[in-house]
Chain A
Amino acid sequence: MSKLTLEALRKLRDAKRKEMNQRDTSAKEIHIVVGMGTCGIAAGAKETLNALVDAVSAQKLGNVLVRQTGCMGLCHSEPTVEVAVPGMPRVIYGRVKAEQAAAIVEQHVVGKHLLDSHILDRPAVDVMR
């Protein structure tokens, strides 16, 4: 197997960007935040993040940012993922394994439908503080 060099990576990126530009016309950014505290990582947040990245890449969405944050205060339902799509309510999903991560991208981000079975209430404000 030949090593994937940084130069080859740059070419891959350019090819991907070209593909995105042809497809993607809405410039508004979509934010996905994954809880990567110790509780999240123990529950599989790393796999969740990787699955989200894979799903976004498969859908060829160039305007999705995936960020990491610490514990959101919902340790009972890790891995947790917050999704902010312009024009839709900001939603926190719980128990997001790889399967649900793919569904979040397909249904919520692309299809604009919430995944009702995994929506969590936000922690009370005093807990957040």
Chain B
Amino acid sequence: MHATVCDYIADLVQNAVEAGASRIGLEIETGPVQVAVTVSDNGCGMDAARMRRVEDPFFSAPGKHDQRRVGLGLPLLRQAVDATGGTMEVRSAAGEGTMVFFRFAAQHVDTPPLGELAGTLLTLLALPGCYELTVRRRATAGDYTVARHELLETLGDLENAVNLALAREYLAAVEQELETASRIRAA
């Protein structure tokens, strides 16, 4: 079981990168009622037969892992969503891509905390590969968008440790600003 919403987000975005997606969208919305996340990609997608097994913990896409046949990402998410009165939806078409949406009830006692979003986004934006990741973050007091290509254009690359530190500083600043404004508004 993952400890934070960020852990589920990381799992889903990694899946999208591994599915060969060139464009990935990540939307994260937090508010007093719900925590909602959508991950959409234009990767290899899944056909109807594979979709039927997508929440089976004893199934993993052939070729995805050398040594194991289990895939716990979506089954664990389903378990957490069901335990907290949330909802979840997976849509996919072979050759077109996949969209995963999940929503936790914000006030449920078992809803996991959001987690450290800036650090999580940093690891997702810096995954090896050629893909565009657009993060749209919305909270009570406003929103912000981070696009991977903009960070790459600004910093040069996201493997150099100093660039990574700068990227995290940027992500932490925009997230902190939104969080603080939302907290003030809620009060």
Q: Interface on A for B, CB 8 Å cutoff?
A: 1, 3-4, 6, 9-10, 12-13, 16, 20, 32, 36, 38, 41-42, 46-47, 49-50, 52-54, 56-57, 60-62, 64-69, 129
Contacts and interface: CB of A to CB of B under 8 A. Distances in A.
Interface stretch (B28-36, B99-107, B131-139, B154-162): B154-162
A13 B156 contact: yes
Contact of A46 (B120, B150, B151, B156): B120
Interface in B114-133: 116, 119-120, 122-123, 126-128
B178 to A, nearest CB: 9
A56 B161 contact: yes
Interface of B is mostly: helix
Contact of A66 (B72, B150, B161, B176): B161
Interface in B148-179: 150-151, 154-156, 159-170, 173-174, 176-177
Contact of A16 (B11, B126, B127, B166): B166
Interface of B: 2, 7, 10-11, 66, 72, 116, 119-120, 122-123, 126-128, 150-151, 154-156, 159-170, 173-174, 176-177, 180
A29 B162 CA distance: 13
Contact of A38 (B11, B163, B168): B11
Contacts of B127: 68
Given A1-B176, A1-B180, A61-B161, 14 more contacts: A3-B173, A4-B169, A6-B151, A9-B167, A10-B154, A41-B7, A41-B10, A46-B10, A54-B165, A57-B166, A62-B160, A62-B162, A65-B159, A66-B160
Nearest to A8: B170
Contacts of A1: 173, 176-177, 180
A36 to B, nearest CB: 7
B161 A38 contact: no
B161 A64 contact: yes
Q: Which of B151, B161, B168, B176 has the most CB of A within 10 A?
A: B161
B168 A50 contact: yes
B154 A13 contact: yes
